[in-house]
């Protein structure tokens, strides 16, 4: 039978999406399922691993049912995932030993402050390319080892395993046969050395992490194992590609040359720039990460992360109940010509790049008697774009080059008003591809390369197609004035 399909699992923060993609980049079938978010305390965010796995298997079943295709045609499985979210589970049973601590979780702010005060951040920065922030996995794992009764003893014996969600999914898909991760996820843990691509003994000692619980670091495109007893799937399908969601999106956008960049507008907004074969340590508080490793070649990236983007729209829907469905925000925002002086700073989970202030909180300024929910809706969209502009400017400074074209993707990139405003305040052309599911596409590409469905990155680049361009229309003087007003609002957050 002709094996001409890739099953791509995109395991995100609020839901799981599974797609069947063919060699021509056509989505044969797609299914998404949301799962609950758990908030034990203010600033704490958790997921239940069983709910993530259930959403994944149900999506797989639904996609196969929709497509009506023989699953034997699946050549390989690619995985992309929310990155820093951290999980521990029993090696033999696979039973989670604590809820997954989500990347948005801020419970380790005090530990990060202690480590900074003790002078460890410079060493961590040099080894990992990251900053000391609760965002990353190392302090989350330290917290679990300290707070979950009996976990440290089990971990030291190798009876408890740690992993980011990619690692957990491979473990489940192979029925425990593989405990592996890839460099694009491992580099976000604060535990991997960016240059050696291995777990770093000095970092493990600092965060008090037993090496026995850590997964093996593989490349982003190779066969890690095969399916076994997965509901809806035959045994023996290769799991062959893995990358953290933002690196997968960069790969899915075919940003294969140094200097090419993309921004994904999802729960948060994430800009990545390909910097080539050598890591650039940022002087502007950007992050340096592995983009991907294929064979013996590693590509590095600069990244700027805003914790809140689409999540702000969800807050309008679920918290303030200003809208019933997320897509309604664009129509509402179009009902007013501007925000009427309202400014929204989306620091609902602290501020990421380039500020890195975990204690910052979201604010709305400029409200008066004439303010309507339409003004607030527009201000939320503009706030997302302003923050991304700060990130872009800092990244250009580090790379010593201007971003001429920014490729965009993610759910919120479908919002034309947001994309046009982003182009306006950035002063840069935005390009949205025909297939905005670039995160899943990147994982599919990596798996497809490993199993031979695509022969090279050149072949992939030829297959990538643009859809819409957004060219900046705002005058430089207005852009400058707006960014000054934004800077004032951020200073109050």
Measured CA angle at 210 (ends 206, 213), to 5 deg = 135
Token pair of 163 as six digits? 């992993």
Does any domain span residue 484?
no
Does any domain span residue 332?
no
Does any domain span residue 351?
no
Does any domain span residue 143?
yes
Buried b (16+ CB within 10 A) or exposed e, 388-404: bbbbbbbbbebbeeebe
How confident is the model at residue 302, as a pLDDT?
94
The H or E element spanning position 468 is strand 466-470
Does any domain span residue 372?
no
How confident is the model at residue 171, as a pLDDT?
97
Does any domain span residue 67?
yes
**Which CATH number characterizes residue 62's domain?**
3.30.420.40
Closest to 11 measured CA to CA, from 225, 164, 133, 213: 164
Q: What is the DSSP letter of 351?
A: B
Mean pLDDT by runs of 10 across the 493 residues of the chain is 91 93 90 93 94 96 91 95 96 95 92 95 94 93 96 94 97 96 97 96 96 97 96 94 95 91 88 91 90 96 89 91 90 94 92 84 94 95 95 89 89 93 96 90 96 92 90 95 93 84
Does any domain span residue 54?
yes
CB 447 within 8 A of CB 240: yes
Concatenated DSSP letters for 233-284? S-TT-EEEEEEEHHHHHHHHTT--STT-EEEEESSSEEEEEEEETS----SS
Does any domain span residue 14?
yes
Q: How many domains does the chain have?
A: 1
Going by their DSSP bridges, the two strands 46-47 and 100-101 should be labelled as antiparallel
Find the Cα–Cα–Cα–Cα dihedral 476, 477, 481, 484, rounded to 10°.
60
How confident is the model at residue 370, as a pLDDT?
93
Domain that holds residue 219: 5-245
How confident is the model at residue 176, as a pLDDT?
94
């Amino acid at each position: 039978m002709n094996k001409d399909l890739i099953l791509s699992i995109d395991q995100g923060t609020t839901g799981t999406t599974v797609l069947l993609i063919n060699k021509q980049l056509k989505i044969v079938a797609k299914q998404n399922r949301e799962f609950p978010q758990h908030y034990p305390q203010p600033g704490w965010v958790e997921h239940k691993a069983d709910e993530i796995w259930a959403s994944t298997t149900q999506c797989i079943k639904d996609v196969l049912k929709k497509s009506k295709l023989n699953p034997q045609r699946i050549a390989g499985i690619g995985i992309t995932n929310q990155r820093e979210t951290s999980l521990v589970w029993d090696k033999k049973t696979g039973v989670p030993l604590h809820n997954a601590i989500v990347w948005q979780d801020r419970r380790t702010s005090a530990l990060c402050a202690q480590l900074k005060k003790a002078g460890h951040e410079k060493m961590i920065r040099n080894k990992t390319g990251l900053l000391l922030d609760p965002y990353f996995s190392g302090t989350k794992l330290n917290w679990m080892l300290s707070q979950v009764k009996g976990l440290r003893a089990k971990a030291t014996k190798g009876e408890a395993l740690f992993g980011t969600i990619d690692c957990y999914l491979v473990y489940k898909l192979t029925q425990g046969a593989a405990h592996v991760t890839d460099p694009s996820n491992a580099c976000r843990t604060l535990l991997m050395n960016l240059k050696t691509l291995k777990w770093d003994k000095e970092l493990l000692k600092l965060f008090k992490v037993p090496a026995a619980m850590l997964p093996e670091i593989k490349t982003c495109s190779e066969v890690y194992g095969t399916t076994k007893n997965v509901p809806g799937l035959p045994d023996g399908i290769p799991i062959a590609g893995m990358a953290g969601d933002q690196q997968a999106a960069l790969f899915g956008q075919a940003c294969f040359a140094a200097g090419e960049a993309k921004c994904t507008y999802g729960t948060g907004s994430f800009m990545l720039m390909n910097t080539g074969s050598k890591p650039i340590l940022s002087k502007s508080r950007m992050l340096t990460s592995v983009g991907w490793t294929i064979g013996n070649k590693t590509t590095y990236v600069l990244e700027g992360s805003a914790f809140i983007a689409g999540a702000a729209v969800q807050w309008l829907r679920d918290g303030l109940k200003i809208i019933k469905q997320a897509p309604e925000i664009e129509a509402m925002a179009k009902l007013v010509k501007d925000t009427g002086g309202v400014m929204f700073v989306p620091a609902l989970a602290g501020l990421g790049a380039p500020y890195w202030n975990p204690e910052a909180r979201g604010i709305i300024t400029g409200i008066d008697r004439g303010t309507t929910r339409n003004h607030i809706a527009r201000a939320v969209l503009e706030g997302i774009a302003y923050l991304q502009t700060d990130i872009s400017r800092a990244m250009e400074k580090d790379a010593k080059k201007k971003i001429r074209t920014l490729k965009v993707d993610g759910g919120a990139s479908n919002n034309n008003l947001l994309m046009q405003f982003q182009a306006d305040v950035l002063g840069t052309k935005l390009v949205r591809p025909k297939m905005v599911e670039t995160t899943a596409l990147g994982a599919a590409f990596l798996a497809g390369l490993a199993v031979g469905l695509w022969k090279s990155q050149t072949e992939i680049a030829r297959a990538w197609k643009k859809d819409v361009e957004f060219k900046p229309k705002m005058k430089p003087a207005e852009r400058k004035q707006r960014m000054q007003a934004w800077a004032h609002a951020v200073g109050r957050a």
